[in-house]
A and B are shown apart, each in its own frame.
Chain A
Amino acid sequence: MINGAEFPTMAPAAPHAVRGFGISDAPEQKEVKVGFMPLTDCASVVIASVMGFDEKYGIKIVLSKEASWAAVRDKLVNGELDAAHVLYGLIYGVQLGIGGLKHEMSVLMTLNNNGQGITLSNHLKDKGVISGETLKKLIDAENRSYTFAQTFPTGTHAMWLYYWLASHGVNPLSDAKTITVPPPQMVANMRVGNMDGFCVGEPWNNRAIYDKIGFTAATSQDIWKDHPEKVLGSTSEFVQKNPNTARALIMALLDASKFIDASSNRHRVAEIIAGKSYVDAPIEVIENRFMGDYEDGLGRRWHESNHMKFYNDGMVNFPYLSDGMWFLTQHKRWGLLKDDPDYLEVAKKINQTELYKQAAGQVGVPVPASAMRSSRLMDGMVWDGSDPKKYAASFKVRATAG
Chain B
Amino acid sequence: MKQISKTSELPLRVLLVDETFERAALLKHALQEAGYQLAAHVTSSADLPGLVSELMPDVIIIASDSPDRDTLEHLCVISRDQPRPIVMFTHDDDSEKIRTAIQAGVSAYVVDGLKSERLRPIMDVAMARFQEFQSMRRELEKAEDLLAGRKDLDRAKGILMKQRGWTEEEAYQALRKIAMDKGLKLAEVARQVIAVADLLG
Q: CB within 8 Å of B: which of A159-218?
A: 179-182, 184-185, 189, 192, 194-195
Q: How many angstroms between the C-alpha atoms of A316 and B65 in the bound complex?
A: 31
Q: Using Cβ atoms and an 8 Å threshold, which residues of chain A touch B37?
A: none
Given A70-B69, A78-B100, A154-B77, A100 and B46 contact (CB-CB distance below 8 Å): no
Contact B70 A151 (CB under 8 A): yes
Contact A153 B100 (CB under 8 A): no
Q: How many angstroms between the C-alpha atoms of A78 and B109 in the bound complex?
A: 14
Partner of A67, one of B46, B49, B65, B100: B65
Contact B74 A69 (CB under 8 A): no
Query: What total of chain B residues lie within 8 Å of the partner, measured CB to CB?
Result: 24
Contact A78 B97 (CB under 8 A): yes
Chain A interface main SS type: loop
Least CB distance, A177 to chain B, in whole angstroms:
9
* CB of A393 closer than 8 Å to a CB of B: no
* CB of B72 closer than 8 Å to a CB of A: yes
Given A70-B72, A70-B73, A153 and B78 contact (CB-CB distance below 8 Å): yes
Contact A78 B67 (CB under 8 A): no
- Contact flags A118-156 to B (C-beta < 8 A → 1, else 0): 000000000000000000000000000000000111100
Contact B100 A182 (CB under 8 A): no
* CB of A275 closer than 8 Å to a CB of B: no
* CB of B112 closer than 8 Å to a CB of A: no
Q: CB within 8 Å of A: which of B58-106?
A: 64-74, 76-78, 97, 100-101, 104-106
Given pairs A182-B67, A195-B46, 4 additional interface contacts (CB within 8 A): A68-B73, A74-B101, A74-B104, A154-B77
Complex A-B: 24 CB contacts under 8 Å: A69-B70, A70-B69, A77-B100, A78-B101, A98-B77, A99-B73, A99-B77, A100-B104, A101-B105, A151-B70, A152-B73, A153-B73, A153-B74, A153-B77, A179-B49, A179-B71, A180-B70, A180-B73, A181-B46, A181-B71, A182-B68, A192-B46, A195-B46, A336-B77
Residues of chain A whose beta carbon lies under 8 Å from any beta carbon of chain B: 67-71, 74, 77-80, 98-101, 151-154, 179-182, 184-185, 189, 192, 194-195, 336
